[in-house]
Structures are given as structure tokens and as C-alpha cells.
Amino acid sequence: MAALKYSRQREAIKEFLMKRKDHPTADVIYLGLLDKFPNLSLGTVYRNLTLLSDTGEINRLRLGDGVDHFDGNTMPHYHFICEKCGRIMDMEVEGLDSFFDSTNSHFHGKIKGHVTYFYGECPDCLKDSCS
């Protein structure tokens, strides 16, 4: 891979992601930075998101809703996606990490990792549907 050079846009994208605890899409990031970079283009956002996740500075989340979400929190953790409002929330699942660490399957390939996420109805949507 070629050497990276500094870019204000990339810096801003990373900073934007670190500040938020939701898990914005490329489009949301783009819109959120338009005031700072009036000529910003979606392509630039996508390119930098790819670069940043290649270097491991951010995470790309593919949670089956057809859109990529991005996470500035690179500490390992799990996610919950609300089927109603689409919101994505961090979730702690006690013992799951150690389960995966200790499990040994009969699989004859090299397991590099796993993806796990949960889905259902988030607290806010639950509240609304009971009214």
C-alpha cells in the first residue's frame, strides 16, 4: 500500500466519527461536514472511510440493512440494530468474547474472526408502540 499523506478532510472525518456514539453512514458524515468543507464530495468521504478502516482507525459495520455504518470506537464491542428505526446501539454481552476465545470447532480452515450482532426493537421504539 502506498504511503498516506495528510489531508484535512480525512482528519475531519475521523474526528467526526470519534465524537459520536451513534454509527453514522457515509451520507450522514458527508452532510455533517458540509459546513466545514462546502465543496466536500461523497467520493472523498467514501475513499477516506475505506482508508481509515483499512488502517484500523475506524470500523466499517455491515449489519444487513444494506448500508454501511462507521464506528470510531475500535475497542471490541457488540451492536444492536433496531428493526423499526434503524438505530444502532452499542451492546455489552458478558462472556461472549471468552466464549469465542475458548471455543474450538471441528472446522478445518483458518478462522480469523467472527461477526455478531443483535436485532430487535430498541427501548425508544418499545415505549412508543405501547402508547
Binding site for DNA (CB under 7 A): 2-10, 25-27, 37, 39-44, 46-48, 50-51, 66-68
In order of 25, 48, 54, 70, the CA distances from 39 in angstroms are 19, 15, 25, 22
> How do 78-82 and 59-62 pair as beta strands?
unpaired
Site map (CB under 8 A) of a second copy, residues 95-114, x = contact:
xx--x---x-xxxxxxxxxx
Is residue 43 within the footprint of a second copy (CB under 8 A)?
no
Which does residue 42 touch among a second copy, DNA, none (CB within 5 to 8 A, set by kind)?
A: DNA
Which does residue 3 touch among a second copy, DNA, none (CB within 5 to 8 A, set by kind)?
A: DNA
Binder of a second copy out of 123, 128, 130, 131 (CB under 8 A): 123
> Cβ neighbours of residue 105 under 8 Å, at least 6 residues apart?
111
- From the CB of 59, what's the least distance to DNA, in Å? 13
Of 47 and 131, which CB lies nearer to DNA in the complex structure? 47
86 Cα distance to chain centroid: 13
DSSP letter (8 states) at residue 25:
B
- CA 111 – CA 124 distance, rounded (Å): 37
Size of the chain in residues: 131
Radius of gyration of the chain (CA): 17
Of 51 and 125, which CB lies nearer to DNA in the complex structure? 51
User: Where does this chain bind a second copy (CB under 8 A)?
Assistant: 62-64, 80, 82-83, 89, 91-96, 99, 103, 105-123, 125-126
